Chain A
């Protein structure tokens, strides 16, 4: 084997795979054609709509390593049954069933799809709905519940709202994001999102901007929007079709 034939072999073997697996698929995925919602001529084009601070929220999510324990991927049923798990894949009740697997447009507005490394924590694809459900049970707003959960994911007392019930979260192994909070003097009626308000020492724990941005991002995670007919894998008699 001479150096020349060695180099030719190296470039051919690697270059072919590189073209087929990296360069061409990436170029194709960069210019996906728009898809109509249905086969009808005047049907509108599918477009995913998101609100909130998606981009910088996702950066805070990444920098603090949330992806090391939380996934954002609902796999098809042939690769797992998380779609059936309560709160994972969308809303499912007597009236409506929006559960679906992750779609390629679900990460619109983000630089990098945080599919996640492990599921030491639950999947967050539809965290927005879960937070609303917890908030309703504990009598808080979803934003306050999320901020309180970032401050201390394991404290049951924090979940206890004025008229709500306590939720057992002591089993969680999620780290606290203490760096996103600061202690401030209590002024007037206090801040609506403040935690651990101490009226004797006149102090309160206040979320910094990072916590608010991250909570805002997490609450936008509702990846169950209706898909174009051609991409909808839900069974024909499921709630999603019945609701149409």
Chain B
């Protein structure tokens, strides 16, 4: 990555702005439509969460009853927001690191629209009562080939821009992670959908493969994209090399070797072969190793940069996301342990794990990347540091509440009540109540945060951002003494230079 001695030449700057210009429309399309899906998903999540403690909420309309709102919420979060934020970051990061402007913005945009259309059909399908009942794969079955096809049309350009990269042969660690995610996603997605939806497999194996699919999507798609972004953002903003390159490579290969075995502990206790259940549990626990490797490496890169951390929104979100990843690693060890599964398997814990992975870790890293990328591709700075701060703090508090209510207190209290077989079931239901209420509060905080994020991002997309040569930092007024020189209109400054 860039080091302090590498001051960019004029040629570099021109190339970068050419890359940014070439990707402006697809990247902004993925980010804004992703953020819109995030808002949709959060609204559905709040509705679903309220219904767990107040089932008559909104008059028991069938299309938003819990059994439909909850799957719609998760699928909108995974495919609407998560995947699209990942696409935006993947194409931009790969183009920048390979130093190649994109020549396929049109294809990317078309594929992005097809992807969105498929997610709309899928979400409406779930709400209308055509869900398949396979978690994270609830979209009606006609949707997945469309998703796969539009994915292929997007990812192929990421791989190609790596193949035609300029400069020396050495590739950055972020490139390996992104390339790996590009390869893993179709393999996982195709395997899961063929085995579960197409082939005539044993019903229990279909359920087991569904459990594997969910864990693999987290560990082999969201984790590598999140880590790639975290490595890039921290190295860029602190202007340092990544702390230890062997840690990066070791962490990458540890993830590649361990993660594909994980996930079958979702069906622990069911009559599928025992080695699947326990290998799955062991691999899910071992997956903490690559996550902590990458996490420590990123945090070490930022060591001693407390001021930058406080000022830069990108770095702040990224570091929060890396802490989320370390929490995810620890939680994976706790929840996959066979002694904990007794309590956690059928409690809120699984949901808490998903939320921590998708929001506490992945989304925070993506927000970090978005705060970095959007000003570059739109050539406008973020409007308000207060909006960014609100987004950050409400997100952090929301995730912490979900971590406490869903995965720690809630799940074990609920699990213990379920285990207490001498008491009536009513007690197990009642013991969930306070944690269900807490989860609703957490989602409300996260929705509050993201309403502002969505408005802010939309204004940036409309190119209504500040036309300034100074980036929006969190703790400091714009100063002529700063590293960016006197503040002024970016377009005027450049035409004056020319």
Q: Using an 8 Å CB-CB cutoff, how does the interface string of A109-121 with B read, 1 for contact, 0 for none? A: 0111111111111
Q: Do B429 and A104 have beta carbons less than 8 Å apart?
A: no
Which residues of chain B from 347 to 371 have a CB within 8 Å of any chain A CB? Answer: 347-348, 350-351
CB contact list, B147-200 vs A, under 8 A: 162-163, 169, 171, 176, 179-180, 183-184, 187, 191, 195-196, 199-200
Does B103 have its Cβ within 8 Å of any Cβ on chain A? no
**Which stretch, B302-310, B388-396, B417-425, touches the partner chain A?**
B417-425
Residues of A within 8 A of B70 (CB): 65, 68
Expressed in whole angstroms, the Cα–Cα distance for A81 and B428 within the complex equals 14
A22 touches B209 (CB 8 A): yes
Binary per-residue interface labels of chain A (176-210) against chain B in the complex, 1 for a CB within 8 Å, 0 otherwise: 11110000000000000000000000000000000
When the two chains form the complex, which single residue of A84, A112, A119, A171 contacts B346, counting CB atoms closer than 8 Å? A119
Within the complex, what minimum Cβ distance (angstroms) separates B128 from chain A? 9
A106 to B260, CA, bound (A): 29
Contact of A119 among B52, B183, B418 (CB under 8 A): B418
Are A79 and B338 closer than 8 Å at their CB atoms? yes
Q: Does B261 contact A (CB under 8 A)?
A: yes
**Stretch binding the partner chain, chosen from B2-10, B234-242, B263-271, B314-322:** B263-271
Residues of B close to A120: CB separation below 8 A:
52, 429, 432
**Is A112 in contact with B131, judged by CB distance below 8 angstroms?**
no
Query: Complex: how many Å from CA A69 to CA B69?
Result: 13
**List of A residues within 8 angstroms of B134 by Cβ:** 62, 112
Tell me the smallest distance from the CB of B139 to a CB of chain A, in Å: 12
Collect the chain B residues with CB atoms within 8 Å of residue A116's CB: 346
When the two chains form the complex, which single residue of B66, B132, B169, B272 contacts A25, counting CB atoms closer than 8 Å?
B272
Contacts of B414 in A (CB 8 A): 119
Cross-chain contact of A80 among B169, B269, B351 (Cβ < 8 A) = B269
- Does chain A have a CB within 8 A of B257? yes
> Known: A26-B205, A118-B351. Contact between A1 and B176, CB under 8 A?
yes
Q: Does residue B467 face the partner (Cβ distance < 8 Å to A)?
A: no
Instruction: Knowing A62-B132, A81-B419, A112-B134 are in contact, say whether A14-B267 is a contact too (CB < 8 A).
Output: no
Q: How far is the CA of A10 from the CA of B259 in the complex (A)?
A: 12
Whether, in the assembled complex, B113 has its beta carbon less than 8 Å from a beta carbon of chain A, the answer is: no
Given contacts A25-B205, A119-B428, is CB(A80)–CB(B196) below 8 Å?
A: no
Q: Are A62 and B131 in contact (CB under 8 A)?
A: yes
> Quick one: closest A residue to B65, CB to CB?
A175
User: Are the C-beta atoms of A80 and B419 separated by less than 8 Å?
Assistant: yes
A10-B256, A68-B67, A175-B66 as given contacts; A25 in contact with B207, CB under 8 Å: no
Give the shortest distance, in Å, between A110 (CB) and chain B (any CB): 5
Let me know if A65 and B256 touch, CB within 8 A.
Answer: no
| Interchain nearest-CB distance for A74 vs B (Å) | 8
Q: How far is the CA of A82 from the CA of B253 in the complex (A)?
A: 40
A residues near B347, Cβ cutoff 8 Å? 118-119
CB distance from B78 to the nearest CB of A (A): 15
Q: Are A84 and B421 in contact (CB under 8 A)?
A: yes
- A80-128: which have CB < 8 Å to B? 80-82, 84-86, 101-104, 106-107, 110-122
* B413 contacts chain A at the CB level, 8 A cutoff: no
Residue of B nearest to A111 (CB): B203
Residue of A9, A22, A86, A172 with most chain B CB atoms under a 10 A cut-off = A22
Query: With A1-B176, A85-B421 known to touch, is A29 a contact of B205 (CB < 8 Å)?
Result: yes
Across the interface, which residues of A come within 8 angstroms of B180, CB to CB?
Answer: 10
A117 CA to B257 CA in the complex, in Å? Answer: 28
The distance from the CB of B193 to the nearest CB of chain A, in whole angstroms, is: 13
Over the window 414-453 of chain B, the binary record of Cβ atoms lying under 8 Å from chain A Cβ atoms (1 yes, 0 no) is 1000110100011011101000000000000000000000
A7 / chain B contacts, CB cutoff of 8 Å: 183
Given contacts A14-B184, A68-B67, contact A75 B269 (CB under 8 A): yes
Question: Is B42 interfacial (CB-CB < 8 Å)?
Answer: no
Q: Across the two chains, which residue of chain B brings its CB closest to A172?
A: B429
Bits for B52-78, please: 1 = Cβ < 8 Å to A, else 0: 110110001110011110110000000
Task: List A contacts of B209 (CB < 8 A).
Answer: 22, 26
Q: In the complex, A242 Cα to B135 Cα: how many Å?
A: 41
The reply to whether B202 and A13 form a contact with Cβ atoms under 8 Å apart is no
Nearest B residue (CB) for A122: B425
Contacts A113-B207, A121-B429, A176-B55 known; list 8 others, CB within 8 Å.
A10-B183, A22-B212, A65-B68, A73-B269, A80-B419, A117-B135, A120-B52, A173-B51
Instruction: Provide 6 A-B residue pairs closer than 8 Å at the C-beta atoms, listed in order of the A residue.
Output: A14-B184, A22-B209, A64-B67, A120-B52, A121-B429, A174-B55
Binding site for A on B (CB under 8 A): 51-53, 55-56, 60-62, 65-68, 70-71, 129-135, 162-163, 169, 171, 176, 179-180, 183-184, 187, 191, 195-196, 199-207, 209-210, 212, 249, 253, 256-257, 260-261, 264, 267-273, 276, 279-280, 338, 341-342, 345-348, 350-351, 414, 418-419, 421, 425-426, 428-430, 432
Top 9 nearest A-B pairs by Cβ distance? A65-B67, A62-B133, A75-B269, A17-B260, A179-B62, A119-B346, A104-B271, A175-B65, A85-B421
